[in-house]
Structure 1
Amino acid sequence: MRTIAIVPGVLALAIANCLASPAYAQDTQPSKDDTPANALPKISVREHRPQDDTRPKLQHIMREVDGPLITVTKKTSITKTDSIPTVVDNNLRDLFAQTPGLFYSEQQTPGQLNLSYRGIGNPQESEFVTVMLDGIPLEADWIGYPTIYTFPMPQQISEVQLIRGGSSLLYGPEPPPVVNMISRKPVADRELAGYTENVVGSNGMFATFNQVSGTSGEWDYLADAHYRRNDGQRDNGDSRLKGADLHVGYRPDDMAYYGLDLHAYSLNTGDPGKLNYSQFVANEDLTTTPYNRVWTDRYVLSLTHERHFDPETELVAKLWGGYQDNASRSQDRGNPPTTATVQDDQFRFAGLDARLVHHWGRGNAFTVGTTLYHSDAPFRQWTENTLFPQRYDRSGRPCVDVKDKNCARLRQARSTDYGAIFAENVFRFAPDWHLVPSVRIERENVDINETVKPVTLSRDLVNRSVTHNVPLFGLGVGNDFGHANETYFNVSQGWRPVRYFDIGSPFGNTAAGAINDPSPTHVLSWEAGVHGTPVDGLFYDASLFWVNVKDRIESLQIPGAAPGNTINVNTGNTRHRGFEGQIDYDFLAAQDPKTTRHLSVFANLSLLNAEFTQSIKGNTGKKPAFSPNYLARVGVAYREDKKLKLALSVVSVASQYWQDSNLPAPIATATPATTGYIPAKVPSYTIADFSGDWWVLPQVRVLGGVSNLTDRKYYARVFGGGLEPGLGRTFYVGAAYEF
């Protein structure tokens, strides 16, 4: 696998040299008519569509050719963090307030990030959304365990990008979309600049963020250190986060750049547990798991190289490696509990992404590249005869029976290998048409070798290895018309690789002879829309979408086998269609496009009709879980550069089923004596947030805000064991100083 996968990388570099050499030779070859006496300097005239780099639409969407990424004909959205008030305590409702369609399933403790899009998949840990930082995946294991336990501080982010449909052709799995955060760059005009921010707030919250950066000659740098503490709204809901980021860059000349980046993150948080509905109604601050705890560490080191072979050809390559450790402590279900299980998920990963872009002809561009990835992910559990085992309290002795304690309950060695090659080209035709064909070929290998299994299971040890080769194709068409308007149409394939749990769940009791071997989930996305900035101050984007999801993977009871004997199979297909629109009108920019003051009203709306078109579980015609009929965000924002930023935003989410059966369910919480139920639907809710930055001096600003202004009692998340209440009204106040 590794030998085969390296070939595309060599091919990409070879193509880069082939494309660069002819272009350079053509530009430097003297004309037959030139003479030494009167030869004039040669001027190359190329069409780069400068309006694409300057139009106001770039405050809302990505460039048509963004470095080595071709995004024209793909629906994109961006949020520039300098245009919104400071996001404090990782309030992602504020960060995503102007991001259409992205559903954020909230929880009080910061140990997980739960995102979903257009009703595709459970939002739990964002398993069906690719989340990246500077094009590098944030998932614990990008292929085998695509979950999000860490998220960068908003203060270190300059821009949030959301790419729909064709994102699978740009970045690979998972199913669309991709959320890509762009890190802030070092200050370019001086050797030393700094920023420090300190805030306090509800529930004992304290946060500090400190950063220095600068540029000196060929070198630039940026470093930050941050810490956040919160006691939580519920007992055992406390958290402690600390981290640091480092960037060092070197530019030997105008044609090359080297960057080294390190991101370090450590989180220690309690888990107050989930509630049944009766408990939520009676007291949403109840704690059902007072002994549970989660520890997460993540360290990623990356090297970036950008090389301009000539004015038209650029190579961008990223090499990264890292380590993540997810450890947790879970109390047993006794009444009262007396023991606990310690679990440890470790991930050691490395990847390479190399992309070449070549601009040619009249505004055309060709990209080609490769991505390689490897991960080792051992998974282990230990049972402990105490409620307070620490993170590293572990025994090497396997458990021998259900009453055995202080022993190893589970051990699995797991690994993934992934490789892809891809190519796209944007062809431009008069008058103002563009066509973008795309192709991507991917290969995954997932391997599990189990040496210890839970003694309660009668199955054999898991020893599985599966490989899938998946070709993906896409086509985009668009047309510029009128004054700064553009239509776009895109049809793209995507897929979700099989995970470790899909081919060998450690908790399933597979009958003898049965093999977990489901096909990967495949996605086909269609989207057609129009966007533009036809008049000063106005941006709009409206589209219709249709997404077919084939071969969902679920666990089913094996017919004729003893109860509890399950197998993971492809259970059916779903269809997701609807409308997604966005509008932003800046009243002050409408009067003066060059103003430094902005008063804008923004709104975005996603309307979704999703249903099972086929299901062997009897769900045909029903709505998939977490598919709200509407998701709406509205707000008003005022900004005056270096003086004041204010924003009021409101998010409203329709009621939605939390399981595919569309039925309520009995739930046994951590204490069996308090057994209740969860209604079939998560109720609709509307939440308002207000935040602001006020510069009292040119270098000093006051920060403040209130989240959940109306103190709405709600929940957005239901997962294994009950519902998780949303946060009530909270506030923060603080100050920032920059130099």
Structure 2
Amino acid sequence: MRRSSLLLSSLLLAAGTTATPVAAVASPLHLRHDEPGKGATLTGTVLDPAGKAVEGVLVAVGERTAVTDARGAFRLYGLPVGEATVTVSGLSIRPISQTVTLQSGQPLTLKLTIEEAVQQLAGVTVAAKSLRFAPEVDGNTITAGKKNEVVELDKLDANLVVNSARQVFAKVPGVTVWESDGSGQQINVATRGLSPNRSWEFNTRQNGMDISSDPMGYPEAYYNPPLEAVERIQIVRGGGSLQYGPQFGGLLNYELKRGPKDKRIQFETSNSVGNNGLLGTYNSLGGTVGKVSYFGYYQQRVGGGWRDNSEFNIRNFHGNVQFQATDKLRLGAEISHLGYEIQQPGGLTDEQFYNGDVRKSSRGRNWFSTPWTIPAFTADYQFSERTRLSLKTFGLIGERNSIGLPSSVSVALPDNENPATGQAAARQLDRDRYRNLGSELRLLTDYDLLGQQHTLAAGLRVAAANLGRRQQGKGDTGSDFNLDLQAARYGRDLSFRTRNYAAFVENIFRVGSRLTFTPGVRLEVIDNQGRGYLSLNADGLENQIRQDSRRKVLLYGAGAELRATDQTSFYANYSRAFRPVTFGDLTPPATSDVIDPNLQDARGFNAELGYRGSWKNILTFDVDGFWLRYDDRIGTIRRFVPGSSTATQQFRTNIGTSVHKGVEAYVELDLVHALTQNFDLPHFDVFASSSFVDARYTQLRTATLSGSNLQEGDLKNNRVEYAPKYTHRFGATFAHKGFSTTAQLTRVSEVFTDANNTVAPNAAGTTGRVPGYSVTDLSATYRFAKRFTVRGGLNNVFDKNYFTRRSGGYPGPGLLPADGRTWFASFGVKL
């Protein structure tokens, strides 16, 4: 055992594994036999010497891997029958190994115990892959047959201080990023030609729980955790709709770091500086004492921003406690809080962008803030090695506050930016308040049928969300952040209520050792209600609205995965998806506008076919083709007022369909080792992440008034807004001993910003084409003396002027420049 462990340790270290050694005791608990020709299943737990679960370590059989959960448990399905070596590796532990004989049809269960945990060895090359594919069951999520990615942030060279999304998601093909917030607070991402606006086409979660304003009525993610505190990001494309509901983009889940299981106390700090006055600090404390494990962090960053009038002060706090009540029951409580004030520099016209200083701003009094508090309670019960139950109850106490001048920079306002005259214009004050409560119960169980082991996942969801929206209030004439209303009432005061009930079931059926088939179904029940007044007349009377909608949505789909070799597999998936009617869709922009009382949710499907895997620890790849259909898109069309042949009105209803189809490809090659087969040499990994998307309307009804007649039209074949034809990211990482550095090039095609595919910009810069762009980033990490880390980077190395979006309202209006060249440097210590 000692000899095999040392040999395995040497091989893993030569291959660049960041693990440090451990001895182990491995004992099979039971072994069952069945007919030959069927796949084998391996389950088990990894424990420390005190018998406590070890979370987050990698368990591998050949190229098949799984990561242990909070209970130290792992599962590997469909393994080849026969003798196999099981290895356990991870940061701060020495690899352990155990040789077992796998029999067909029934599971073998192991208990693996590490003897010690030590600090990372000096001189070990750090070159672990930052992107991997999830196993068939990832935690309590089924991913078999679905396109998915797991981004592990500790293995990235990236600017995590300001949440650089284009670096963090670089290896996820097809991710579109809006770069209009240099503070990094707003993460705006999407895939497959969908809108990146605050990631609202994703079902966005933290630790598996809701963090957006209201997934069923206002799915914008104003809160995103600081990426310095995130362990990994889990992405499941459209197939995630069956387990998590809307949206078309699938699941985007941030999983936070946890305290170590083998230490009573561990402290980590990382402090950063950068240009434009950037200062950041991240501090965490965690550990395990008896049956209680705990973890918490405080993160703050302040800066002046790359553009004028873009100061920010962002503060994040998180704390969680886990209590192992019994061998089977684990209880937890956590809370996350965000507080910040960000100055909004507003938009630019095209003339200002191309002929003037792109860093200038003519809006010095616009501010934005979204204080966000997310409490949660969890309970996990392990009935047996095969069956576990998870209950998550979560809430939201949040706000969205803005004060400023919302008009375009091309619109003159009296003394609008000249407070010295004493006649500055009063600012507009808008405030939202969110109060949400939800609970999700999930069951995951393995069971035997016809000589095979299969996996069932089922769940229930109950959620309530309440939004109070007050807009068009009269703010002060100052320039600081001030939320005091200067009038008796807001110009608009609305309240929205959502009640959501859902149930789902999904099952992995295993056929032999190589094929899985995973059907699923989900039923959503949604009850929306809107009350309040849209505006006030001159006499003070309210123009009230009353909106009610109750509907059921049935989602269904199926996935299949065929393992071509031990390291590669084909996968295919078809899943229905929908996007609920939002509260914005129910709020007419003017009192003369009308909302269709039969307005429907947008519905459609995702379909994908791909091939993914790895080869000899040298090559990793994933190539797929996809087809996304987005029916019943919501928009506004002019029509005659019912009963009149002359008067017209704007009518908000379902007006169109779009089809998004394309190819996504990711490949990463360990170039030096592929050429030399000498794993003692430094690593030089190159990667390419590309997507080609053709997103077009197959129908989009229009109507224009010509004299006294309405002329109907159709924007069929026009490209969908903000859907780039291609998105390419190429990069290379050099790693030797404790040092690694990554260079990355991003190329994105031009996009249109409206369904008319307008090319020439208007005077305000709110419509018109967004040109394609290229941008280069460089980052580096150096770990030394076991506990110290230095990071640094240069974003937009060649100081390119570009922009990724135009805005018709918040936070513009106008085109919103991306940041030019910026740099950061961090120094961290772990004790």
Counterpart of 2:591?
A: 509
CA distance in 2, matches of 1:205, 1:327: 24
**More divergent stretch after superposition (615-624 vs 104-113):** 104-113
Identify if the C-alpha distance between structure 1 residues 313 and 640 changes in structure 2 by more than 3 Å, giving closer, same or farther.
farther
Asked if the contact 1:371–1:419 (Cα under 8 Å) also holds between the matched residues in 2, the reply is: yes
Match of 1:682 among 770, 773, 785: 770
CA distance in 2, matches of 1:595, 1:326: 54
Identify if the C-alpha distance between structure 1 residues 646 and 564 changes in structure 2 by more than 3 Å, giving closer, same or farther.
farther
Aligned amino acid, residue 463 of structure 2: Y
Asked if the contact 1:328–1:391 (Cα under 8 Å) also holds between the matched residues in 2, the reply is: no
CA distance in 2, matches of 1:149, 1:563: 40
Counterpart of 1:8?
A: none
**More divergent stretch after superposition (283-292 vs 338-347):** 283-292
Aligned amino acid, residue 771 of structure 2: P
CA distance in 2, matches of 1:606, 1:371: 34
Check if 1:391 corresponds to 2:475: no
Deviations along 1:491-531, whole A, 9 cap, x unmatched? Answer: 000000111111233x332457x645410000211101111
Counterpart of 1:439?
A: 521
CA distance in 2, matches of 1:332, 1:501: 17
CA distance in 2, matches of 1:626, 1:563: 34
Match of 1:297 among 350, 371, 374: 371
Check if 1:233 corresponds to 2:306: yes
The structural deviation recorded for 1:707 is 0.3
The structural deviation recorded for 1:477 is 1.4
Match of 2:694 among 606, 609, 627: 609
Counterpart of 2:22?
A: none
Pairwise mapping of residues 274-423 of structure 1 onto structure 2 (< 5 A)? 274-282=347-355, 283-331=357-405, 333=407, 334-337=413-416, 338-361=425-448, 362-381=452-471, 382-384=473-475, 386-388=477-479, 390-394=481-485, 397-398=488-489, 408-423=490-505
CA distance in 2, matches of 1:580, 1:730: 30
The structural deviation recorded for 1:204 is 0.6
Aligned amino acid, residue 55 of structure 1: E
Q: Secondary structure at the match of 2:455?
A: strand
Aligned amino acid, residue 363 of structure 1: Q
Aligned amino acid, residue 458 of structure 2: V
**More divergent stretch after superposition (468-477 vs 135-144):** 135-144
Asked if the contact 2:600–2:632 (Cα under 8 Å) also holds between the matched residues in 1, the reply is: yes
Counterpart of 2:638?
A: 557
Check if 1:600 corresponds to 2:707: no
The structural deviation recorded for 1:640 is 5.1
CA distance in 1, matches of 2:237, 2:693: 15
**More divergent stretch after superposition (340-349 vs 381-390):** 381-390
Identify if the C-alpha distance between structure 1 residues 363 and 649 changes in structure 2 by more than 3 Å, giving closer, same or farther.
farther
CA distance in 2, matches of 1:594, 1:186: 33
- Segments of structure 2 that go 5 or more residues without pairing to the other structure are 1-28, 35-39, 44-58, 67-130, 408-412, 417-424, 703-713
CA distance in 2, matches of 1:336, 1:253: 68
Aligned amino acid, residue 84 of structure 1: L
Aligned amino acid, residue 281 of structure 1: Y
Aligned amino acid, residue 225 of structure 1: Y
Deviations along 1:239-296, whole A, 9 cap, x unmatched? Answer: 0001111011111333222221110111100010011111111221121321111011
Counterpart of 1:730?
A: 822
CA distance in 2, matches of 1:173, 1:439: 13
CA distance in 2, matches of 1:409, 1:430: 65
Asked if the contact 1:611–1:622 (Cα under 8 Å) also holds between the matched residues in 2, the reply is: yes
CA distance in 1, matches of 2:405, 2:494: 22
Deviations along 1:615-635, whole A, 9 cap, x unmatched? Answer: 112211110101111111111
Counterpart of 2:794?
A: 706
CA distance in 1, matches of 2:680, 2:342: 45
Counterpart of 1:31?
A: none
Identify if the C-alpha distance between structure 1 residues 332 and 72 changes in structure 2 by more than 3 Å, giving closer, same or farther.
closer
The structural deviation recorded for 1:388 is 4.2
Asked if the contact 1:109–1:239 (Cα under 8 Å) also holds between the matched residues in 2, the reply is: no
Aligned amino acid, residue 572 of structure 1: G
**More divergent stretch after superposition (373-382 vs 251-260):** 251-260
Deviations along 1:348-393, whole A, 9 cap, x unmatched? Answer: 1111111101111233101110112111110002113524475330
Counterpart of 2:338?
A: 265
Identify if the C-alpha distance between structure 1 residues 593 and 208 changes in structure 2 by more than 3 Å, giving closer, same or farther.
farther
Q: Secondary structure at the match of 1:503?
A: coil
CA distance in 2, matches of 1:450, 1:593: 71
Asked if the contact 1:537–1:593 (Cα under 8 Å) also holds between the matched residues in 2, the reply is: no
Aligned amino acid, residue 374 of structure 1: A
CA distance in 2, matches of 1:596, 1:350: 54
Deviations along 1:118-149, whole A, 9 cap, x unmatched? Answer: 112x3222222222111112212222111122
CA distance in 1, matches of 2:625, 2:475: 54
Aligned amino acid, residue 731 of structure 1: W
Asked if the contact 1:536–1:593 (Cα under 8 Å) also holds between the matched residues in 2, the reply is: no
Counterpart of 1:659?
A: 754
Aligned amino acid, residue 318 of structure 1: K
Identify if the C-alpha distance between structure 1 residues 666 and 543 changes in structure 2 by more than 3 Å, giving closer, same or farther.
closer
Asked if the contact 1:689–1:708 (Cα under 8 Å) also holds between the matched residues in 2, the reply is: yes
**More divergent stretch after superposition (202-211 vs 598-607):** 598-607
Asked if the contact 1:108–1:725 (Cα under 8 Å) also holds between the matched residues in 2, the reply is: no
- Segments of structure 1 that go 5 or more residues without pairing to the other structure are 1-40, 399-407, 668-674
Identity %: 23
The structural deviation recorded for 1:537 is 1.5
Aligned amino acid, residue 464 of structure 2: H
Q: State the TM-score, normalized to the length of structure 2.
A: 0.78
Counterpart of 1:670?
A: none
Match of 2:41 among 38, 42, 48: 48
Q: Secondary structure at the match of 1:203?
A: coil
Deviations along 1:79-107, whole A, 9 cap, x unmatched? Answer: 11121135222212221112211111111
Q: Secondary structure at the match of 1:167?
A: helix
Q: Secondary structure at the match of 2:351?
A: helix
Match of 1:129 among 202, 205, 208: 202
Counterpart of 2:665?
A: 581
Check if 1:479 corresponds to 2:551: no
